[in-house]
Amino acid sequence: MKLYYSPGACSMVVRMVLNHVGQTYTSVRVDLSAGEQQSSWFLAINPKGKVPTLVRDDGTILTELGTILEWIALQHPAEALIPNDDDQAIRVREIVEYCISTIHAFATTRIFMPAAFGAEADRSTIVAEGQLRLGRGLALLDKRFCDGDYFVGKLTIADFMIYWIALGAVIAELDLPPAIRRGFESTGRLPAVQQSLVEEGFA
Ligand SMILES: N[C@@H](CCC(=O)N[C@@H](CS)C(=O)NCC(=O)O)C(=O)O
């Protein structure tokens, strides 16, 4: 299995989950800041020009973060990273989707890749809007978080996703609301997360 990634990008969520389930894989860095995602060699692998991109052992390619996370979880049913309970499972999917298509797409991307949202001259306004949206997203997640360490009360793919969103908030020097902080600390203690931070140059 091969993961195309960029350090600290949303591909890190895939790395954390692969490490957690003990999947062996190699990883290939795509330099987003140099625009390598638009290079012909990478577009030949993923015409969308995005990481994460996962090449499975049979050579077929998976794209879209939520889909990749779900596929890894389905390959490792014993880990129950998508709960067996249907209602919990659908809540996990709902939260992963919200993190990707609302918080990541419109908040963290504004903060960390502001050029995608406008001119250099507007950078501070774009980043401020991203911070506002990230704060709102985290507050919404915080209200729905279980009393325990994990979003639905046990570890699922949603926790790795929320960890990555919260890591972005910490890097952006935003305060984490209380339940999100609790989850960030619990998920952050997992060996797979620690290993991923080292592998992506954060520790
Ligand atoms: N819809 C995609 C979005 C992935 C995405 O936005 N990836 C970012 C890194 S976090 C990326 O590759 N950006 C490069 C670009 O947009 O040029 C998914 O869910 O996988």
Give the CATH number of the domain where residue 18 resides: 3.40.30.10
**C-alpha gyration radius of the chain:** 16
Cβ atoms 89, 83 nearer than 8 A: yes
Q: Is the CB of 13 under 6 A from ligand 1?
A: no
23 and 48 co-located in one domain: yes
Q: Per-residue pLDDT for the chain (203 aa), expressed as one digit of tens each?
A: 999 999 999 999 999 999 999 999 999 999 999 999 999 999 999 999 999 999 999 999 999 999 999 999 999 999 999 999 999 999 999 999 999 999 999 999 999 999 999 999 999 999 999 999 999 999 999 999 999 999 999 999 999 999 999 999 999 999 999 999 999 999 999 999 999 999 999 98
The domain boundary, picked from 45, 78, 111, lies at 78
91 and 72 co-located in one domain: no
What is the rounded distance in angstroms from the CA atom of residue 65 to the CA atom of residue 86?
21
102 and 167 co-located in one domain: yes
Residue 195 lies in a domain: no
Q: Which residues pair with 63 in a beta bridge?
A: 53
Pocket test for ligand 1, best of 50, 99, 109 (most atoms within 8 A of CB): 50
What is the rounded distance in angstroms from the CA atom of residue 95 to the CA atom of residue 38?
29
Which domain CATH number covers 148?
1.20.1050.10
Structural domain of residue 180, as residue ranges? 86-189
What letter would DSSP give residue 28? E
Cβ atoms 187, 160 nearer than 8 A: yes
Q: For ligand 1, atom 6, which residue shows the shortest CA distance?
A: 50
36 and 6 co-located in one domain: yes
Number of domains the chain contains: 2
